[in-house]
């Protein structure tokens, strides 16, 4: 077990190293990133002060160094102007566009993103699993057809469109503006119960909007998985034992059908951060998605690099978690081949 | 006379399908007396399993009981007999019976247990549903039952997962699950079909013993007349949902009345068959091409295939969390020869290495040591050294017939595409010639020429296997490697396919390597038989000699374990009880092979070889 973990951590480190290199070089690849533009602008002004500032920026961010050295400085494996100070040391760099440290730019948004998406994940599972079980056990019944129909609509509706529609109608009917994560008057205020309540009420619509597609997809997949398992012999055995139907269902086929979803956690985690960019834009949710979009557009290299690395790290960690969970839940994986 | 435990009267089960309603069980009546075994025999689709499911009330959703009654008279309960057919399937009363008073075991011990829960969990659960017991009591009962059904370490069984057990032990776990509630009736649906013969004998023995102990009745569903002859007190023969014949075992076997039953009995390969005797399939296939062709002259006297000292081992990575690897020696120092125009039978139980060997011969795998020689008429050549043209030619000469006719044919290809694919791959002939060839192939295997445009799913199992044979014959090979070609087929169809293979051999001068676990089948088709165990060939002899005079303890055990549909040759359960026949280290001297000792093949009479330990040979010399 310990050996396994050591091996896994080693491969995780290598994976992340490769991803970081790719991220860095790809961001650097097209000419005209934010900083070079800024320097060019300063130089074009032709004033001594501007030129000096340009020189300072070049020195500060090591633009005169070869790209591989810049990369190593960013990672924190090469002494930059401030000594070893990179991702490994917890220094996430400077956002040129916002002219603030990346930590500050991303900080709050990161937590809110995680919150929204956590609520989302819970919503999707809580809603879709019972519906899926219902429609799988009553295949081709009226209820199944209704669930299937709603599922297809959910899959086919673009979520940003739904967001726009809801935005308009909630405002018209209830007079509530659902944009943002809390009422505008709370922005910049310390957290109070009132602000928290406002946050909760603002969470409802985004959760519905973003969650609909996921719920629909989950119902379809869960239903298919469960239908496969319902035909298996061990379920017949369970029924032949005289188990009450619900217990037989939940203990055997349902548990088996969960496996693919656990294996999917690795994909779920990064989705928590980078998913739902469009909806966040439409509903002006202060999440990481729009920030990432902006950073990529303006080639704000450290900001974009950090968010991408963060997503990559989440993916890798998610994979590890799902592997460990699978091993814990499925004895065949844990003990197989012993 | 005592009232029967279960009394089925005019039971009718209907299955709804797109094509309308089908009567899967049509007016079946029989009684199961207390403490007796009733066997329901029939081919697949005869409705025997549906009958069992109806008694348990676990019919699939599309099926429903359309008429008749199933009276269950529980001796432990003073109430008048209960009509199971009239109870709602999910009622409390029915659930108490199901698993409590009537328990069931299934064919596939691999899939009948949940892989995610321990055996102990699944077994104790059966008890906890039906009796008010604490966890500790349930565990105690489970340990007791595990011991009773022959688990070597009953305590450990509690925390073992099904995939950690062998097929035999899994079936024992199933039996434990069924018996822990001490049911009055045990329904066994093909309980041993998926097991090896020696394991089958042990499981059958166990069921008999338990029956004697507990006085329960058994409803045995099977297609194997051999099993019936050894287990049943009374027999019900079913065909297409109807009862063909019913009666006491002796009447059924000694004085069969119904033509279907008589035909069924003639279709099963038996050991006592006279040399040259032909099986009579229920539906004879006319192979036009075979009948027309002049029998090939006596085959040339050479070995078309020769395997010399082949060994193959695999490295297994054990477990996810450990880096340990383990070597498995699948094939150990095997030497065999397939004479031209003859059949070499290779017999062994699952995991003995017979499939690995056939893969090595077909060059799907490379051996670690040893060589395979192929002689297509131009002198022997080493198969694993063949390259380019010569290799292509070899692949054309050696073709495979697979076990499962359902998964070995691509469901998206028509028969025409399936049969001509080998020709297209090897760029043989023009499209017109291929079309002619495909028609000729269908004639050869006795299928209608008009089937060319049909897809595999519209054929029955036996017809599909004939398609598989036709495909293998497309390139006019010299050797067919038949890997369990009939073990997935019904007995009635088995005879058909076996006869076809024999006819084709006579007409086309083919050589076969026939791999099977069924001794009677191998006896019927093979000229020479090699018995394989744990990667070793332990005995090799002409078919007649092997069955008349088996020398090796493993061969003897195999022979003794095959249930013969002949009442005068009952299984000797006592002899089979001792257990570990497939353990080379526990064979008696001079056959024992311990550790690295691979032993040597010793000729006990001309053409009859037995593997013995090396020192024994020295002592004899």
Domain definitions of chain A by residue range: 1-100, 102-334
| pLDDT level of residue A89 (50, 70, 90 thresholds) | confident
* pLDDT of the residue at B22: 85
Residue of A nearest to B95 (CA): A242
* pLDDT of the residue at B372: 92
Q: Which of B400, B327, B328 is nearest to B359 (CA)?
A: B400
Contacts with A4 from chain B: Cβ below 8 Å: 320-322
Is residue B4 domain-resident? Answer: no
Please compute the mean of the pLDDT values over residues B249-253 and round it to a whole number.
91
Is residue B378 domain-resident? Answer: yes
Please compute the mean of the pLDDT values over residues B561-579 and round it to a whole number.
79
CATH of the domain at B355: 3.40.50.300
- Inter-chain residue contact A238 with B56, CB threshold 8 Å: no
Is residue B212 domain-resident? Answer: yes
Chain mean pLDDT for chain A: 82
**Residue-wise pLDDT tens digits, B346-399:** 998 877 888 889 889 988 888 999 999 998 878 888 888 888 888 888 999 999
* pLDDT of the residue at A280: 80
**Alpha-carbon distance B468 to nearest alpha carbon in chain A (angstroms):** 28
**B2, B13 in Cβ contact below 8 A?**
no
Angle, helices B415-425 vs B431-444, to 10°: value is 120
* pLDDT of the residue at B529: 93
Structure tokens at A211: 């969650």
Q: Which of B90, B96, B108 sits opposite A245 (nearest CB)?
A: B90
Residues B372 and B478 in one domain: yes
Asked if A146 reaches chain B (Cβ–Cβ under 8 Å), the answer is no
Question: DSSP state, A168?
Answer: H
Give the separation between CA A283 and CA A281, rounded to whole angstroms.
Answer: 6
Give the separation between CA B33 and CA A13, rounded to whole angstroms.
Answer: 70
End position of a domain, from candidates B522, B551, B580:
B551
Question: Is the per-residue pLDDT at A44 higher than 50?
Answer: yes
Give the separation between CA A292 and CA B598, rounded to whole angstroms.
Answer: 67
Please compute the mean of the pLDDT values over residues A108-114 and round it to a whole number.
80
Structure tokens at B127: 């008890």
Asked if B321 reaches chain A (Cβ–Cβ under 8 Å), the answer is yes
ipTM over 0.85 threshold = no
* pLDDT of the residue at B621: 47
Asked if B95 reaches chain A (Cβ–Cβ under 8 Å), the answer is yes
**Alpha-carbon distance B210 to nearest alpha carbon in chain A (angstroms):** 19
Q: How far is CA B142 from the centre of its chain?
A: 30
Structure tokens at B261: 């039953």
End position of a domain, from candidates B249, B267, B285:
B267
Give the separation between CA B606 and CA B613, rounded to whole angstroms.
Answer: 20
Residues B346 and B231 in one domain: no
Asked if A255 reaches chain B (Cβ–Cβ under 8 Å), the answer is yes
**Alpha carbon distances (Å) from B304 to A90, B341, B379, B512:** 72, 8, 9, 10
Contacts with B104 from chain A: Cβ below 8 Å: 240
Question: Is the per-residue pLDDT at A71 higher than 90?
Answer: no
SS3 percent helix, strand, coil of chain B, rounded to 5, is 35, 25, 40
Structure tokens at B168: 């035999």
* pLDDT of the residue at A338: 42
CATH class of A102-334: mainly alpha
Placement of tokens 């089908």 in the chain = B22
Q: Which of B477, B580, B493, B492 is nearest to B534 (CA)?
A: B580
**Residue-wise pLDDT tens digits, B410-422:** 988 999 999 999 9
Question: Is the per-residue pLDDT at B579 higher than 70?
Answer: no
Please compute the mean of the pLDDT values over residues B526-541 and round it to a whole number.
90
Asked if B93 reaches chain A (Cβ–Cβ under 8 Å), the answer is no
Give the separation between CA B383 and CA B375, rounded to whole angstroms.
Answer: 9
**Alpha carbon distances (Å) from A284 to A160, A170, A279:** 11, 15, 8
Asked if A138 reaches chain B (Cβ–Cβ under 8 Å), the answer is no
Answer positive or negative: Cα dihedral of B587, B590, B594, B596: negative
Core vs surface per residue A228-260: b (16+ CB within 10 A) or e: ebbebbbbbbbbbbbbeeeebbebbbbbbbbbe
Pairing type for strands B343-347 and B511-516 reads: parallel
DSSP annotation string for B243-256: EEEEEEHHHHHHS-
Q: Which of B58, B111, B323 sits opposite A239 (nearest CB)?
A: B58
Q: Does residue B458 come out as left (phi exceeding 0), alpha (psi in the -120 to 50 range) or beta?
A: alpha
Q: Which of A3, A241, A252 sits opposite B323 (nearest CB)?
A: A3
**A280, A325 in Cβ contact below 8 A?**
no
**Residue-wise pLDDT tens digits, B140-156:** 999 999 988 888 888 88
Is residue B24 domain-resident? Answer: no
**Residue-wise pLDDT tens digits, A113-170:** 878 878 888 888 899 899 999 999 888 889 899 988 888 888 888 888 888 888 888 8
Question: Is the per-residue pLDDT at B323 higher than 70?
Answer: no
| pLDDT level of residue A274 (50, 70, 90 thresholds) | low
- By residue range, what is the domain housing residue B519? 303-551
Residue of A303 and A35 predicted with greater confidence: A303
Residues B40 and B181 in one domain: yes
Residue of B616 and B41 predicted with greater confidence: B41
Asked if A10 reaches chain B (Cβ–Cβ under 8 Å), the answer is no
Residues B261 and B325 in one domain: no
* pLDDT of the residue at B617: 52
Residues B239 and B119 in one domain: yes
Residue of B593 and B324 predicted with greater confidence: B593
Asked if A335 reaches chain B (Cβ–Cβ under 8 Å), the answer is yes
**Residue-wise pLDDT tens digits, B102-137:** 999 988 877 889 988 999 999 999 999 998 899 999
Residue of A46 and B154 predicted with greater confidence: B154
Question: Is the per-residue pLDDT at B182 higher than 60?
Answer: yes
End position of a domain, from candidates B551, B573, B608:
B551
Residues B136 and B214 in one domain: yes
Please compute the mean of the pLDDT values over residues A10-23 and round it to a whole number.
90
Q: Does residue A115 come out as left (phi exceeding 0), alpha (psi in the -120 to 50 range) or beta?
A: alpha
Q: Which helix (H) or strand (E) holds B310?
A: strand B303-317
Placement of tokens 């090699």 in the chain = B530
Contacts with B175 from chain A: Cβ below 8 Å: none
Asked if A3 reaches chain B (Cβ–Cβ under 8 Å), the answer is yes
Is residue B23 domain-resident? Answer: no
Residues B227 and B363 in one domain: no
- Inter-chain residue contact B113 with A338, CB threshold 8 Å: no
Is residue B567 domain-resident? Answer: no
Question: Is the per-residue pLDDT at A85 higher than 90?
Answer: no
* pLDDT of the residue at B434: 92
- B155-B156-B162-B166 Cα dihedral, nearest 10 degrees: -100
Strand partners, B326: B316
Contacts with A237 from chain B: Cβ below 8 Å: 106, 112-114, 174, 177
Strand partners, A329: none
**What's the total number of domains in chain B?**
2
Mutate to test the interface with A, among B87, B112, B177 (most CBs of A within 10 A): B112
**B50, B14 in Cβ contact below 8 A?**
no
Contacts with A3 from chain B: Cβ below 8 Å: 321-323
Q: Which of B606, B550, B519, B598 is nearest to B335 (CA)?
A: B598
Give the separation between CA B277 and CA B96, rounded to whole angstroms.
Answer: 52
**Alpha-carbon distance A142 to nearest alpha carbon in chain B (angstroms):** 16
**Alpha carbon distances (Å) from B257 to A219, B27, B220, B226, B236:** 57, 20, 22, 18, 13
Residues B247 and B103 in one domain: yes
Chain mean pLDDT for chain B: 86
Please compute the mean of the pLDDT values over residues A6-27 and round it to a whole number.
89
Residue A283 burial (C-beta neighbours within 10 Å; 0-12, 13-18, 19+) = buried
Contacts with B163 from chain A: Cβ below 8 Å: 331-332, 335-336
Asked if B320 reaches chain A (Cβ–Cβ under 8 Å), the answer is yes
Instruction: Work out the number of other CB atoms within 10 angstroms of the CB of residue B487.
Output: 15
Question: Is the per-residue pLDDT at B289 higher than 80?
Answer: no
Residues B310 and B208 in one domain: no
- Inter-chain residue contact A237 with B97, CB threshold 8 Å: no
| pLDDT level of residue B238 (50, 70, 90 thresholds) | very high
Asked if A251 reaches chain B (Cβ–Cβ under 8 Å), the answer is yes
Structure tokens at A248: 């037989």
- Inter-chain residue contact B320 with A4, CB threshold 8 Å: yes
């Amino acid at each position: 077990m310990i050996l396994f973990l050591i091996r896994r951590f080693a491969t995780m480190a290598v994976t992340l190293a490769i991803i970081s290199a790719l991220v860095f070089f790809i961001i650097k690849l097209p000419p005209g990133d934010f900083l070079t533009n800024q320097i060019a602008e300063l130089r074009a002004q032709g004033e001594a002060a501007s030129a000096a500032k340009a020189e300072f920026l070049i020195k500060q961010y090591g633009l005169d160094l070869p790209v591989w050295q810049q990369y190593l400085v960013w990672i924190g494996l090469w002494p930059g102007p401030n000594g070893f100070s990179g991702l490994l040391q917890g220094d996430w760099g400077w956002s040129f566009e916002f002219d603030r440290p990346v930590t500050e730019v991303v900080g709050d948004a990161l937590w809110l993103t995680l919150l929204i998406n956590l609520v989302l994940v819970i919503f999707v599972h809580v809603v879709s699993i019972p519906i899926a079980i219902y429609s799988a056990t009553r295949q081709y019944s009226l209820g199944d057809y209704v669930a299937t129909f709603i599922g297809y609509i959910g899959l086919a509706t673009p979520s940003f469109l739904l967001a726009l529609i809801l935005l308009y109608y909630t405002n018209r009917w209830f007079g509530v503006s659902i944009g943002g994560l809390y009422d505008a008057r709370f922005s910049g205020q310390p957290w109070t119960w009132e602000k928290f309540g406002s946050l909760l009420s603002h969470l409802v619509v985004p959760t519905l909007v973003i969650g609909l597609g996921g719920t629909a997809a989950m119902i379809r997949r869960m239903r298919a998985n469960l239908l496969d398992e319902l035909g298996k012999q061990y379920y017949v055995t369970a029924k032949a034992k005289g188990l009450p139907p619900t217990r037989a269902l939940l203990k055997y086929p349902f548990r088996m059908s969960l496996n693919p979803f656990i294996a999917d956690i690795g994909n779920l985690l990064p989705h928590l951060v980078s998913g739902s960019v469009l909806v966040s834009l439409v509903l002006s949710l202060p999440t990481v998605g729009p920030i990432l979009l902006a950073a990529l557009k303006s080639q704000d290299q450290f900001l974009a690099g950090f968010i991408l690395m963060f997503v990559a790290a989440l993916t890798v960690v998610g994979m590890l978690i799902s592997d460990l969970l699978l091993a814990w839940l499925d004895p065949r994986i844990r003990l197989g081949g012993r | 006379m005592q009232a029967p435990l279960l009394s089925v009267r005019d039971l009718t089960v209907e299955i709804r399908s797109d094509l309308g309603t089908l009567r899967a069980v049509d007016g079946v009546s029989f009684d199961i007396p207390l403490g007796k075994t009733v066997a329901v025999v029939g081919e697949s689709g005869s409705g025997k399993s549906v009958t069992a499911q109806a008694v348990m009330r676990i019919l699939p959703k599309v099926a429903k009981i359309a008429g008749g009654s199933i009276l269950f008279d529980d001796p432990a309960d003073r109430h008048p007999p209960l009509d199971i057919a009239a109870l709602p399937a999910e009622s409390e009363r029915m659930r108490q019976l199901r698993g409590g008073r009537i328990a069931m075991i299934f064919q596939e011990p691999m899939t009948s247990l949940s892989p995610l829960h321990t055996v102990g969990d699944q077994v104790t659960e059966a008890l906890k549903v039906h009796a008010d017991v604490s966890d500790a009591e349930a565990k105690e009962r489970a340990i007791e039952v595990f011991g009773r059904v022959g688990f070597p370490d009953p305590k450990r069984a509690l925390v073992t997962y099904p995939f950690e057990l062998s097929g035999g032990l899994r079936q024992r776990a199933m039996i434990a699950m069924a018996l822990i509630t001490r049911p009055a009736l045990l329904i066994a649906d093909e309980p041993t079909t998926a097991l090896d013969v020696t394991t089958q004998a042990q499981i059958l023995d166990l069921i008999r013993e338990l029956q004697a102990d507990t006085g329960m009745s058994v409803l045995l569903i099977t297609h194997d007349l051999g099993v019936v002859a050894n287990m049943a007190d009374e027999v019900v023969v079913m065909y297409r949902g109807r009862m063909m014949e019913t009666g006491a075992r002796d009447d059924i076997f000694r004085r069969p009345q119904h033509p279907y039953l008589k035909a069924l009995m003639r279709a099963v390969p038996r050991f006592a068959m006279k040399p040259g005797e032909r099986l009579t399939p229920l539906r004879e296939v006319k192979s036009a091409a075979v009948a027309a062709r002049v029998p090939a002259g006596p085959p040339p006297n050479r070995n078309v295939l020769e395997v010399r000292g082949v060994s193959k081992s695999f490295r297994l990575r054990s477990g996810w969390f450990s880096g340990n690897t383990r070597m498995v020696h699948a094939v150990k120092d095997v030497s065999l020869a397939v004479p031209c125009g003859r059949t070499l039978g290779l017999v062994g139980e699952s995991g003995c290495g017979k499939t690995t060997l056939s893969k090595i011969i077909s060059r799907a795998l490379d051996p670690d040591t040893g060589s395979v020689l192929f002689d297509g008429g131009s002198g022997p050549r080493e198969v694993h050294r063949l390259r380019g043209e010569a290799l292509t030619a070899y692949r054309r000469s050696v073709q495979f017939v697979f076990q499962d006719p359902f998964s070995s044919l691509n469901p998206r290809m028509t028969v025409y595409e399936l049969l001509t694919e080998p020709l297209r791959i090897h760029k043989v002939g023009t499209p017109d010639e291929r079309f002619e060839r495909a028609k000729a192939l269908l004639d050869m295997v006795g299928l209608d020429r008009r089937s060319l445009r049909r897809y595999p799913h519209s054929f029955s199992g036996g017809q599909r296997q004939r398609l598989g044979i036709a495909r293998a014959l497309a390139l006019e090979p010299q050797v067919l490697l038949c890997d369990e070609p009939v073990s997935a087929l019904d007995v009635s169809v088995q005879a058909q396919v076996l006869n076809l293979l024999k006819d084709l051999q006579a007409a086309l001068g083919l050589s076969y390597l026939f791999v099977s676990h069924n001794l009677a089948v191998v006896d019927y088709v093979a000229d020479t038989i090699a018995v394989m165990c744990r990667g070793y060939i332990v005995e090799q002899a002409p078919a007649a000699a092997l069955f008349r005079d088996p020398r090796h303890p493993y061969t003897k055990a195999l022979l003794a374990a095959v249930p013969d549909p002949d009442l005068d040759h009952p299984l000797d359960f006592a002899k089979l009880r001792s257990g570990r026949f497939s353990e080379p280290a526990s064979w008696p001297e001079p056959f024992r092979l311990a550790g690295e000792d691979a032993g040597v093949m010793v000729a006990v009479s001309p053409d009859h070889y037995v593997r013995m330990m090396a020192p024994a040979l020295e002592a004899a010399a």
